[in-house]
Amino acid sequence: MGEKYDGYEAIIKSFGGTATCEWFGDYQGDIGVIITDGSSVGWLVIGYGSCSGCDAFEAVSPWCSHGDDPCDCNWSGVQELRDSLFSQIKWNEAPPEPNDPNEWWSFDGEVQSWIAAEYAKAVLTAGPTP
């Protein structure tokens, strides 16, 4: 059946550790995530949108369209999204430089600057990696 995560915040919380998040954009954009778990620090950028055609969570969420309660449906798609996002976390790896052709989001200076700055702060706080 899968866990009943009600949005990206709940999915990020399920990763464990301490997460710092910043949302960039309005109805569509990116979520910058820094996770500190012991001496490990990870980062992730999640793109989001306003509908099931452009947002991964909206596409797999079985939330009802008539209220705030989740349907008693199959949540396996949400669990698969959660697991996919977790597997994309870059642990103890410095973020790329601006305009890295391998990272689409690095072309957005605001997102790239935030990830780089927050990662550097988290590394200093976490201490040496094992």
Q: What is the pLDDT of residue 68?
A: 56
CB atoms within 10 A of CB 22: 14
Which residue ranges make up each domain of the chain? 8-120
Mean pLDDT by 10 residues, the chain (130 residues): 77 95 92 95 93 85 58 75 96 88 80 93 80
pLDDT at residue number 118:
95
- What pLDDT was estimated at residue 66? 47
CA distance readout (Å), 113 to 25, 97, 103: 15, 9, 14
Q: What is the pLDDT of residue 1?
A: 46
The span from the CA of 27 to the CA of 77, in Å, is 22
